[in-house]
């Protein structure tokens, strides 16, 4: 883990998406943070030690989703399935598919596996899975403010975790999407899909992949007003984070039945033409039970600093 000194910083941004406003000052105490996203190998050790079964591996109870399509009420998760031609960006279902049997061991569904991806970030993990891992490891899930402060690496009010220029010296600093999303991936950064952790230079605090690769869960409930607190409200935009189809089936029910948590950092699917969210200020709301091929996490420890 890496020691992140506490301090006061300007949280949010006025320059990009509505849910990042208003910019406001926030103070956080110092804490320890995982130097990189939790990997497949680390998550495998947790599962072996505890027998944990992830949300994606459990079929939901039909009684909880009386109006749902029964074909969706099976173990599974959301998998990115890119089209081979340009499509309208107004419906994420053109590139996201609910795949029965997809989970952290089978990231593309049955027949796939994580062999050779032991150092890649684990994916297809819900918020409950994140909490369970953190408890096992003696750690916690970061707050949104802790996460954003850490991501900035001491560069307050900068656009990216490394400064204001996206590719300084022509070099990519994170695993993001190059080309026209969702059909054209030029892979100029060297990766299609997730990258091994710490494949790019860490930020000023020594934290790797605080932009791109996979989104990361935080413990904060989501509100569309960045400065608000209390009751959850619907997100201003959903960007590249799809709705869990299990939840869509029950949208007529009270939204409080599906609490949303803030996810941060963007992913390898974030592109300038669709989701420019590989920035510290960027944020999205995601239902706690959702798992996808591009959401992972890292943990923190709040306690004494280096001696």
Q: What is the mean pLDDT of residues 10-17?
A: 94
Q: What is the mean pLDDT of residues 235-250?
A: 51
- Angstrom distances, CA of residue 152 to CA of 57, 162, 211, 245, 296: 35, 8, 10, 33, 19
DSSP, collapsed to helix, strand or coil, labels residue 122 as: coil
Single out the residue of 200, 260, 223, 279 nearest to residue 37, CA to CA.
Answer: 200
pLDDT per position as a tens digit, 185-200: 999 999 999 999 999 9
pLDDT above 90: percentage of residues in the chain: 79
The predicted structure's pLDDT at residue 237: 44
Output the average pLDDT for the chain: 90
The predicted structure's pLDDT at residue 245: 56
Q: 131 CB contacts (<8 Å, ≥6 apart)?
A: 141
Q: Is the pLDDT of residue 234 over 60?
A: no
Q: CA-to-CA distance for 19 and 40, rounded, in angstroms?
A: 31
Q: What is the mean pLDDT of residues 99-128?
A: 97
Token reading at 156:
């307050």
Q: CA-to-CA distance for 293 and 307, rounded, in angstroms?
A: 39
E strand map for 175-296: 215-221, 260-264, 283-287, 295-296
Which structural domains are found in the chain, ordered by start? Answer: 1-50+118-306 (3.90.1580.10)
Single out the residue of 287, 198, 192, 293 nearest to residue 247, CA to CA.
Answer: 287
**Model-level pTM?**
0.91
Q: Phi/psi of residue 284, each to 5°?
A: -140, 160
Rounded to a whole number of angstroms, the CA Rg of the chain reads: 18
pLDDT per position as a tens digit, 281-296: 999 999 999 999 999 9
Tally of CA atoms within 13 A in the half-sphere of 222 that contains its CB: 27
**What's the count of helices (H) and strands (E) in the chain, helices before strands?**
4, 11
Token reading at 23:
């910019």
Q: What is the mean pLDDT of residues 39-50?
A: 98
Measured from the Cβ of residue 82, the count of other Cβ atoms closer than 10 Å reads 16
Tokens 């990009």, residue located: 16
Measured from the Cβ of residue 22, the count of other Cβ atoms closer than 10 Å reads 12
Q: Could you check whether the bond before residue 22 is cis, i.e. omega within 30 degrees of 0? A: yes
Single out the residue of 77, 121, 114 nearest to residue 215, CA to CA.
Answer: 121
């Amino acid at each position: 883990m890496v020691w992140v000194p506490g301090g006061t910083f300007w949280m949010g941004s006025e320059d990009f998406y509505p849910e990042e406003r208003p910019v406001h000052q926030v103070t956080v105490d110092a804490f320890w943070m995982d130097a990189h996203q939790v990997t497949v190998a680390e998550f495998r050790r947790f599962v072996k030690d505890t027998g944990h079964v992830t949300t994606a591996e459990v079929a939901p109870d039909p009684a909880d989703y009386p109006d749902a399509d029964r074909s969706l009420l099976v173990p599974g998760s959301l998998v990115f399935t890119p089209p081979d031609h340009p499509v309208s960006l107004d419906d994420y279902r053109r590139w996201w598919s609910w795949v029965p049997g997809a989970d952290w061991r089978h990231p593309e569904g049955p027949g796939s596996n994580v062999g050779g991806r032991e150092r890649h970030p684990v994916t297809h993990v819900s918020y409950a899975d994140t909490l369970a891992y953190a408890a096992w490891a003696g750690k916690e899930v970061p707050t949104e403010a802790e996460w954003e402060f850490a991501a900035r690496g001491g560069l307050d009010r900068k656009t990216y975790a490394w400064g204001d220029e996206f590719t300084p010296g022509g070099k990519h600093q994170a695993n993001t999407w190059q080309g026209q999303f969702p059909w054209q991936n030029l892979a100029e950064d060297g990766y299609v899909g997730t990258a091994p952790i710490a494949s790019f230079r860490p930020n000023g605090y020594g934290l790797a992949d605080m932009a791109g690769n996979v989104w990361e869960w935080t413990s904060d409930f989501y509100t569309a007003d960045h400065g608000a607190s209390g009751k959850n409200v619907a997100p201003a935009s959903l960007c590249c984070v799809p709705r869990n189809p299990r939840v869509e089936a029950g949208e007529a029910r009270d939204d409080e039945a599906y609490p949303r948590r803030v996810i941060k950092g963007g992913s390898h699917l974030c592109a300038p033409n669709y989701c420019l969210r590989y920035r510290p200020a960027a944020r999205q709301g995601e239902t706690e039970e959702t798992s996808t091929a591009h959401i992972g996490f890292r943990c923190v420890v709040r306690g004494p600093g280096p001696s």
